[in-house]
Amino acid sequence: VNNYLKTIEQNAHLNAFNEVFGQEALQRAKDIDSRLTQGNAGKLAGMVIAIKDNICYKDHKVSASSKILSGFTSIYSATIVERLLAEDAIIIGRCNCDEFAMGGANETSYYGPVKNHADNTKVSGGSSGGSAVVVQAGMCHAAIGTDTGGSVRQPAAFCGVVGLKPTYGRVSRYGLIAYASSFDQAGPITNSVEDAALLLEVMAGADDYDSTTASNPVPAYSANLQSPEGKKKIAYLQESISSPGVDPEIKQTLITAIEKLRAEGHTVTPIAFEYLDYLVPAYYILVTAEASSNLSRFDGVHYGYRSPNTTDLMSTYKKSRSEGFGKEVKRRIMLGTFVLSAGYYDAYYAKAQKVRRLIQQKTDQILKEYDFILMPTAPEPAFNIGKEEKDPVVSYLADIFTVQASLTGVPAISLPAGNNSKGLPLGLQLLTKHFNEQELLSFSKYFV
């Protein structure tokens, strides 16, 4: 813990932590040390973990990197936090992220952007940018992020670390600050596949407080990571190589991986995904709709920030929300409210639900035929901080490769795939069937 605290201090310029729980972490380390000598410590004893600042930890502040939650303290812990603590993890701090996890560069945070440790002029990725950088820069052992449409996987790719989004329902959402409830899923960001497996096995499983968790038994993922027997059938998206929108060095990384897999006897087949153009539009209609509903609770009365300039209840709502939410969050609340409004519900929200179902059916069909789908995690490596993006739709389109797993609920992992010619990390992504995390993790070891 002392070493990590030193590294955290040296890397303060990266802006990866919203708060460090230094003294508390040291005290906990002492307690765990003494339990270790007595031989009754949990399986994460010695593991120092950071959590994204949208995960509740009793008696600790939580902000979702938003002004509207300033001053708010959690009155209970997320189920995943309880489970990590029960196995003697040490939680060292809460990580910067995009405001309410809305973004892909950690630039919507009220607390400012997180810098990429590989090149401080580049973004960390997002929305779990802080969680990726703290692992990348060695400020802790591992971190927990949340992934609604790529927020664990994309920053992991930008930072050269491992990021796993579990199957929807594998890990409890109780105690996460909700963004889009039918998409949100917490996942580990780690240096190794082994650590991802261990953290998943501790966090996963049914939870009475989240009715969408599955009751499927949780395998001992970390104990069963030996390379899977036999040759695999892998599909890859043709467009990820043919599209002009994908960075040439990312294409080359994908081609090299495909050639290596083929040389080892696996079958790798290009496929066309007929709904590719509908992934991002369906995703953004559905998540903004869910977000507009989830974020209605921040009213200036129940939580955090209240505008000092109010005269009555209506102005408390209006002014607190106008002053408390950032630009991107407001844009999404308005978009979500619009697509749910009476006159447009069928044209947008109901239509997007139908499109989601088609995407799910087609993805399931592909994953019946193939063991994995391989694709880049993101079309580009980390870009410049402050690259003024006038059209938000351009930023949304960069989520093209991550939202398929989120719309369909299947598990996906981003794996480090070396650096480009400028020294920036690149990531490759694998998707597999629902609840097939064991095979996904075992096969991932082949890449890293």
Residues noted as catalytic: 52, 127, 151
Torsion, Cα 404 405 409 413, to 10 degrees, reads 180
Residues 291-320 that bind ligand GLN (CB under 6 A): none
Q: Does the footprint of ligand GLN cover residue 411 (CB under 6 A)?
A: no
Tell how strand 48-52 and strand 90-95 pair up.
parallel
DSSP 110-123: TT-PPEETTEEEEE
Cβ burial of 41 (10 Å; 0-12, 13-18, 19+) is middle
Per-residue contact string for residues 163-202; x = within reach of ligand GLN by CB under 6 A: ----------------x-----------------------
Q: Does the footprint of ligand GLN cover residue 288 (CB under 6 A)?
A: no
Q: 296-303: long-range contacts (C-beta < 8 A, 24 or more apart)?
A: 298/68, 298/69, 298/324, 298/325, 300/324, 303/68, 303/69, 303/72
Phi-psi region of 150 (alpha: psi -120 to 50; beta: other; left: phi over 0): left
Nearer to ligand GLN, 151 or 167 (CB): 151
Q: Does the footprint of ligand GLN cover residue 399 (CB under 6 A)?
A: yes
Residues 23-42 that bind ligand GLN (CB under 6 A): none
Nearer to ligand GLN, 163 or 300 (CB): 163
Residue type, 52: K
Nearer to ligand GLN, 7 or 360 (CB): 360
Nearer to ligand GLN, 148 or 438 (CB): 148
Please give the structure tokens belonging to residue 58: 């009793």
Closest-approach residue to ligand GLN (CB): 151
Least CB distance from residue 66 to ligand GLN, whole Å? 13
Distance (Å, rounded) from C-alpha 149 to C-alpha 332? 14
User: Residues 116, 136, 148, 414: which binds ligand GLN (CB under 6 A)?
Assistant: 148
Cβ burial of 110 (10 Å; 0-12, 13-18, 19+) is buried
Piece of 31-39, 146-154, 204-212, 385-393 that binds ligand GLN (CB under 6 A): 146-154
> Residue 403 is inside which H or E element, if any?
helix 403-408
User: Residues 147, 195, 290, 437: which binds ligand GLN (CB under 6 A)?
Assistant: 147
Residues 50-109 that bind ligand GLN (CB under 6 A): 101-104
Give the burial string for 346-376 (b: 16+ CB within 10 Å, else e): eebbebbeebbeebbeebeebbeebbbbbbb
Nearer to ligand GLN, 106 or 172 (CB): 106
Nearer to ligand GLN, 53 or 399 (CB): 399
Least CB distance from residue 60 to ligand GLN, whole Å? 21
Per-residue contact string for residues 212-251; x = within reach of ligand GLN by CB under 6 A: ----------------------------------------
Q: Which residues bind ligand GLN (CB under 6 A)?
A: 101-104, 127, 147-151, 179, 287, 399
